A and B are shown apart, each in its own frame.
Chain A
C-alpha cells in the first residue's frame, strides 16, 4: 500500500519536532508548513492525502486557510485547536474541515482521527449499500437497521440521522450539518430536534442509553459515532 502523505501545518517548532518522527513511524509521509501561506503552497504542490492544521497561525487565520483550500480541493483537513475554542472549531468544521482534535492530545488519538478521515475518503469513493459500526448494521436499500443481530424499528428521520452519523463514523458531525442534511436548511438552529432524536436512537441501539458507547456527544459541537478500532491497532 502507498504511504499516505500528511501535511502538518503549525507555527510551533516543538509540535513539528514530535509529530514528524511519530507520524513517520506510524507509516505516513510528513510535510511541514509553519504559516498559512506555506500551507497553501504545499497543499498545491505536494498533493497531500490529509492536512493537519493548527488554527492559530501567525500570518493568517486558520479558518481562512480552510476556506481557500476548500475552493479547489476536498482533501481531508484535521484541525488542531484548544478545548475552550468551541466557536472556532464549529466555524472551521462548517467551513469544510473534516474533524478536529483538542490540544494537548495523545498520538493515538491523532492517528485514529487521521485514519477515520482518510478511510472516509476511501469509503465515499466506493458505493456501499451497508454501513456497520459497533454491532449496528444499516442496510440502506432495505431501509432496515439491526442491532447486535436484532431488527430495530426505526422511523425515516431516525434512519436518515443514523445514516449520516454512520457514513461519517469516527468523525465529528456538527449540529448544523446534521440539522441541515436531515431537516433542511430552515432548521439549522433547532438543536432541540437533535436532542430528542439522538435520545431516541440511543434508546434503540445503545446497550446502555445512559452510557452511550456508539453515538458520542461532542459538547457544544456535535456528535460522533465511535468506530470499533478506535485505538485497537496502534
Chain B
C-alpha cells in the first residue's frame, strides 16, 4: 500500500495553473537580494542589465542610486535613464521616480533601485514596491534591489540581532512573488574592508547607527538570513516546477497553520513568528481573531492593537478569520479540526480573565485540550510584560471625568449634610455609592474610578469622626472606609464596563439600523439617481463627514452625486479616484496610494466591471478609519454596488424590451406587407396568366370575371400602396395638411359617393345635420379618412351588412361617424385598432386589411386638431361606431366670400 498516493497531489491544481497563466501576462520581477548595504547589489544589477542591453533588450533605468560610487556610475553609461518627477513637499523639491512616465515609456525592462524605499508624501504610492507592482501589471519586467532586513516578517529578528528598528519594509508576499531572486553575496570581512576603504555610501546622520550595524556578528547573521531565505525560495520554485510538470516528487504532508491573534501587546510578534513558521513549512496559514463576549467592551487601544496585528497577518499572506464566543478554546479547536489545522501558534497570555474561571491561561488550556495538533506557545519578551493597562486617558477626557465625578461627589456630600439635619443617617456611604454608580453609568469607567476616590476622601472628611479632618480614630471606621473604597471601585469597574459595552452596542445597533435603512430604501429605489443619492447620503452619515460618488462616463469619471452637494474635487482627489477606478482598489486617504487626498475612494460595481468610485471624507482627521465605520462603509459600498448593477440591468432589460417591441412591429410590418401585396398580386398574375394560357378554353363570363378580378385587385393594391405612402409621409412629418375652411357634410358626401363606386355591393346611408358650421382642415384628407372608415366597415362588418355615415354638431364640435352592424370590436381592442398593423382577428379569415387605415385616420385627424375613437357594441351587442370629432373654429364673417372654403 506504500505506493498509493493521491493522484491530485502529483498533478498541478487548477489554482496553480491559473497563477502561472496570470503571471505570464504580468511583467517579471527580479530581485537582487543582499545581506547589507554595500555588498554590490546595484553594481550587480547594472552589470546584468548591460549584458541584456548588449543582447538588444530595451532596458531603461527608472531609479538608480549610485551614491557617488564612480564604478557604479560608469555602468550607467549608455543606458537610458528616465527623468524623475519633482514633488514639492514642505517647501522642498524632492525628486521621485515617475511611475506613469515609466509605464508610458513601455520598455521591455526597467531598473528600479531600492525596493523598500518610502516615497515622498504626494507621490502616487506610499511605497516604491507599490510603484513596481503597478509597472509589473503594465507588463514591463522590473529588476530591483533589496536588503534582507527590509523584509516585513524579519523585522523583529533583525531588530533582535542588530538592535536597529527597520522602518522601511516590504511585505514578504511581494518578494515571494518575484520570478527570480539573485543573492549578491560578500563575506562580512570583505564588506567591512570595503566600508573602511570608503566604498560604501552611508548617510551622515545614520553613521553612528550604521557603525553599530556593520559588526561582523550582525553581518554574519544577516548573511545567513539572506542565504537561507533564498534557499527556501529555490526549494519552493523547484516544487512548483515539479508540480506544474506533474513530476512525482516527495511532497511533504499538507501542513496548515493557525495563529491566534488576541489583544495582547505581543500580538504582532506572534503573527510574525507564525509567518516565519508558515514560510518554513511552506504551508498556508490562518490568523484567527479571538473575541470573547466580554472582550467586546475592551479598551479602544487593545482593539486597535488587534486590528493592527490582523492587518499585518494579511500583509504577510494569511487568511483572516474572526471567531467569537464564550468558550474560546472550544471555538479555536472546532475551527482547527474543521479546517485540518495541524499547528496552532499562540502567544502566552497573561490570561487574567481565564485564570479567574479556570485558574489557567488560555494557552495552557489550549495545550491541554488540543489533540493531534501541535501547539506552539510564543513566550512574551520581558519588556512586554510591563503592563500599561491604565495608561493615562487623553487630557480632555480626564478633565471631563474629573469634573463630572467632582460634581457627583459634591452633590452626594450636600445631600448627606442636608439629610443629617432632618434625620440621623447611619449609612451615608450609600449616597456616595450612588454618586459612583451614576458616574459609571453616565460617564464611563474613568469618571467612576475618580468618583470612588473622591468619595473615599469626602466620606472621610465630612462624615467620619473627627469631621473636617482626614484622620480616622475608630478602627472599625477605618475598616468601613476601606471596604467602601473597595466596593465602590469594583462597582465602578463593572458599571463602567457595562457603560462602554452599552455604548459599543448602541454604536453597532446604529450601524445596523443605518444599514437596514439603507437596504430598505435601496430596494425601493428604481432609478440610478435615487440609488446614487441614497448611497452618498448614507456613506456621509456613517462616516460623519462628506461623500462623493463618481461614475464612469465614456473614458473618464464624472461626479454624479455627493453629500453635501458639491460639484468639484481637488486635483489629488481626481487622481486618486481615477486610480481607484482603474485598479479596482481603494486609494486616497487612509490608504498607501495617494494618501494625501482628502477623500478615501473605493471602487463601485462588480469585480472586473467597475462602474465608478465612492469617496468618503470623515470630519475628524483621524489616521485610520475606526474598524466599525470601515466595516459599515464596506457594507454600504457593497450594497450600493449591487443596487447599481441592478439598475443597470433594469435599464438593459428595458432597452431589450424596446428592441423586442420594435422587432415585433417590424415583423408585423413585414408580414402585413407580404400578405397585402402578395394576395392582390397573386390574383392579378394568376388571372392574367390564365387568360393568356387558357384563353379560349375559358367561358366568356369567366373571362369577364377574370378581367374584373384584375381591375378590383389592382384597385385594392393602389389603395394599399397609397395608405402606405400616407403613413410614411405622416410619420416623416411630410404629410401636407392644409388649414382651409371645410364643409364636413360635403366631405362626407364625396367619401360616400366614392365608396359606393368601389364597393357597389355595400349599402351606405348618409345622415347630415342641419346648419352645420365650417371647420378648419384639409378637405381631401378628411374625405380619405371617411373613405378608410367605410372601407373598414365593409371589410369587418361583411358585405351583407351596411353602414351609416352621420355628420352632426355636438357643442362646439362637429362629429362625423361611421356605424356598421358587424360583429363589433372587443372592448380591449377599441384603442388598439388605432395602432399600426393591428387587425382584429375575426377568426373567419375574411378580408384581412392592411392594419394601416385607422392609424392613418388618427394621424390625420390629430393633425387637424381633432380626435377619433371607436365604440362597440353600438346596439344589441353588435356594430361598431367610429367617431371623428373636429373643433368648430370661430366662423369666418362672410363664408360666401371665402373662395377657399370650397371643397375640391
Contacts and interface: CB of A to CB of B under 8 A. Distances in A.
A24 B678 CA distance: 23
Contact of B845 (A19, A57, A82): A57
Given A11-B846, A22-B698, A58-B845, A107 B705 contact: no
Interface stretch (A68-76, A98-106, A188-196): A98-106
A14 B846 CA distance: 11
Contacts of B689: 106-108
Interface centre among B689, B697, B703 (most CB of A within 10 A): B689
B845 A26 contact: no
Contacts of A34: 845
A36 to B, nearest CB: 9
A12 B712 CA distance: 14
Contacts of B680: 14
Contact of A18 (B678, B697, B706, B843): B706
Contact of B843 (A13, A24, A58, A84): A58
A21 interface: yes
A11 B845 contact: yes
A203 to B, nearest CB: 36
B690 A14 contact: no
Given A35-B845, A57-B845, A82-B674, A14 B709 contact: yes
A20 to B, nearest CB: 8
Interface string A82-125: 10100000000000000000011111101100000000000000
A11 B682 CA distance: 13
A43 B893 CA distance: 71
Contacts of A15: 679, 682-683, 686
Interface centre among B680, B682, B684, B705 (most CB of A within 10 A): B682
A164 B685 CA distance: 33
Interface string A22-65: 10111000000011000000000000000000001111000000
B863 interface: no
Contacts, number: 95
Contact of A26 (B686, B694, B709): B694
Nearest to A26: B694
B709 A105 contact: no
A99 B697 CA distance: 26
B693 interface: yes
A211 interface: no
B687 interface: yes
A142 interface: no
Given A17-B705, A21-B698, A234-B693, A56 B686 contact: no
B682 A103 contact: yes
A58 to B, nearest CB: 3
Nearest to B694: A25
Contacts of A82: 674-675, 678
Contact of A19 (B678, B679, B686, B846): B686
Interface centre among A12, A24, A26, A105 (most CB of B within 10 A): A12
B121 to A, nearest CB: 70
A21 B690 contact: yes
Contacts of B698: 21-22, 24-25
Interface centre among A18, A59, A82, A111 (most CB of B within 10 A): A18
Given A35-B845, A56-B675, A58-B844, A21 B702 contact: yes
A25 B682 contact: no
A199 B487 CA distance: 109
A14 B678 CA distance: 11
B686 A18 contact: yes
B682 A22 contact: no
B474 interface: no
Nearest to B699: A21
B96 interface: no
B interface majority secondary structure: helix
Contacts of B699: 21, 25
Contact of A108 (B679, B693, B712): B693
Interface in B703-717: 703, 705-706, 709, 712-713
A12 B677 CA distance: 13
A57 to B, nearest CB: 7
Contacts of A108: 689, 693
B702 A59 contact: no
A64 B234 CA distance: 75
Given A11-B846, A104-B682, A21 B674 contact: no
Contacts of A107: 686, 689-690, 693-694
A104 B845 contact: no
B888 interface: no
Contacts of B844: 35, 58
A82 B670 CA distance: 12
Contacts of A110: 686
A106 B691 CA distance: 11
Interface centre among B694, B702, B844 (most CB of A within 10 A): B694
A103 B697 CA distance: 24
B691 to A, nearest CB: 9
Interface in A186-231: none
A112 to B, nearest CB: 11
B246 interface: no
A134 B674 CA distance: 36
B681 interface: yes
B264 to A, nearest CB: 73
B687 A18 contact: yes
Contact of A105 (B674, B682, B706): B682
Given A59-B843, A107-B686, A22 B709 contact: no
A85 to B, nearest CB: 9
Contacts of B675: 56, 82
A130 to B, nearest CB: 31
A17 B846 contact: no
Contacts of B697: 25-26
A26 B703 CA distance: 14
Interface string A124-148: 0000000000000000000000000
B673 to A, nearest CB: 11
Contacts of B687: 17-18, 22
B641 to A, nearest CB: 44
Nearest to A106: B689
A83 to B, nearest CB: 9
Nearest to B843: A58
B674 A18 contact: no
Contacts of B713: 14
A19 B683 CA distance: 8
Nearest to B845: A58
B681 A104 contact: yes
Contact of B686 (A13, A35, A105): A105
A17 B703 CA distance: 11
A14 B847 CA distance: 10
Interface centre among B675, B687, B703 (most CB of A within 10 A): B687
A19 B846 CA distance: 18
Interface centre among B675, B690, B844 (most CB of A within 10 A): B690
Interface in B151-180: none
B693 A18 contact: no
A26 B689 CA distance: 12
A106 B683 contact: no
Given A15-B679, A21-B702, A58-B843, 14 more contacts: A12-B683, A18-B683, A21-B690, A22-B706, A26-B697, A34-B845, A35-B844, A35-B845, A59-B845, A104-B682, A104-B685, A106-B693, A107-B686, A107-B689
A-B pairs with the 8 shortest C-beta distances?
A58-B845, A21-B702, A11-B845, A22-B690, A106-B689, A25-B697, A104-B682, A14-B683
Interface of B: 674-675, 678-687, 689-690, 693-694, 697-699, 702-703, 705-706, 709, 712-713, 843-846
27 contacts: A11-B845, A12-B679, A12-B682, A14-B683, A15-B679, A15-B686, A17-B705, A17-B706, A21-B702, A21-B705, A22-B698, A24-B698, A25-B690, A25-B697, A26-B694, A35-B845, A57-B845, A58-B843, A58-B846, A82-B678, A103-B682, A104-B685, A106-B685, A106-B693, A107-B690, A108-B693, A110-B686
